[in-house]
Amino acid sequence: MRTAKAIVRSLVVLAILAALAVAGFVFVRDRPQDVPWTPLDLGQPIGAFTRQKLVALGDDFPRCRALLDRAGVDYAVKPPRGEGQCVQEDGLIPEPGGATTVRLRPASVAPSCPVVSALAMWEWQVVQPAARKYLGSPIADIGHYGSYSCRRMYGASEGKWSEHATGNAIDIASFTTEDGKTVSVLDDWNGGTEDQQAFLRAVRDSACDLFATVLSPDYNSAHANHFHFDQANRGGMGWGACR
């Protein structure tokens, strides 16, 4: 027969388990972006598993487009292109309007759907707040060096294919504010004002929570004039490269 002390201990354990269950439910309800199994919502704050969920969209083009539609992001679908290792089937041309206001220059760029999704979140939650804080004006245009390019990494004749080969990357070069000021990676990463440098580092650092790979002038001289962003799928570990 159980003693009164054993019954009390059991009740205490059950109370602790119940409290933990309630705390877990509240956490999942209030911070779904920090839980690996909850669905991605582009309108949620950036969380611990946002990057992995964005990368996973590369396996589900219809779902990726549905998330953009639900978030109010305007885009045009790029017809499939390329061959061999350079086939792109999920290219989207971002269009300003709706939930996004920043224009990409040139405007014809068509990154993969996971890249476009991350760019939208980057604009809303990173670029525009940082621009208002450090530059005193929202960003109107982002200059880039392209997305789709059928080539291997670093332009080599052999070796691993670049994420650019399928449009799963974009190279960001500059930012122009609504009041006409331009901040470029090449000129202002080290040579700009204190606020310009702070802006560039803020948008680089936070991009690491949204893109699988973020490379900047801190990485090597090949990236002295741009940020390289891509959504490389490195498997279940979900680790990223940020430099």
Cis ω for the linkage preceding 106 (within 30 of 0): yes
Whether 124 and 4 share a structural domain: no
Q: How far apart are CA 232 and CA 240, in angstroms?
A: 9
Rounded CA-CA distance 163/137 in Å is 33
Domain count along the chain = 2
Cα separation, 148 vs 114, in Å, equals 14
3-state secondary structure the chain: CCCHHHHHHHHHHHHHHHHHHHHHHHHHHHCHHHCCCCCCCCCCCCCCCHHHHHHHHHHCHHHHHHHHHHHCEEEEECCCECCHHHCECCEEEEEEEECECCEEECCCCCCEHHHHHHHHHHHHHHHHHHHHHHCCCCEEEEEECCCCCCCEHHHCCCCCECHHHHCCEEEEEEEEECCCCEEEHHHHCCCCCHHHHHHHHHHHHHHCCCCCEEECCCCCHHHCCCEEEECCCCCCCCCCEEC
Range of the domain at 106: 40-242
pLDDT attached to residue 116: 98
In degrees and rounded to multiples of 5, residue 227 shows phi and psi of: -100, 130
Per-residue confidence at 21, pLDDT binned at 50, 70, 90? very low
What is the C-alpha separation between 64 and 119, in angstroms, rounded?
13
> Looking at the structure, do residues 79 and 151 belong to the same domain, yes or no?
yes
Residues 26 and 60 in one domain: no
Mean of the pLDDT values across residues 136-155? 95
Q: Domain for residue 165, yes or no?
A: yes
Quick one: 24 and 69 in the same domain? no
What's the token pair of residue 211? 């893109």
Token pair 């996971």 is found at: 114
Q: Tell whether 65 and 111 lie within a shared domain.
A: yes
Instruction: Check whether residue 24 and residue 75 sit in a common domain.
Output: no
Confidence of residue 20 (pLDDT cuts 50, 70, 90): very low
Question: Measured between alpha carbons, how far is 30 from 23 in angstroms, rounded to an integer?
Answer: 10
Start-to-end CA span in the chain (Å)? 64
Could you tell me if residue 35 is inside a domain? Answer: no
- At 111-134, the pLDDT tens digits run 999 999 999 999 999 999 999 999
Residues 3 and 59 in one domain: no
Q: Does any domain span residue 88?
A: yes
Q: Is residue 184 part of a domain?
A: yes
Assigned domain for 166 exists: yes
If asked whether residues 22 and 119 sit together in one domain, one would say no
pTM of the model: 0.88
Residues 21 and 129 in one domain: no
Q: Which residue is it, tokens 């279940």?
A: 236
* Residue 140 within any structural domain of the chain: yes
Q: How far is CA 231 from the centre of its chain?
A: 8
> What percent of the chain has pLDDT above 70?
87
Which residues are registered as beta bridge partners of 174?
143, 184
* Same domain as 59, residue 17: no
2 & 22 share domain: yes
Same domain, 114 and 156: yes
Q: Would 65 be classed as within a structural domain?
A: yes
Q: Which residues are registered as beta bridge partners of 214?
A: 229, 242
Q: What is the C-alpha to C-alpha distance for residues 99 and 120, in angstroms, rounded to an integer?
A: 8
pLDDT class of 7 with cuts at 50, 70, 90:
low
Whether 132 is covered by a domain: the verdict is: yes
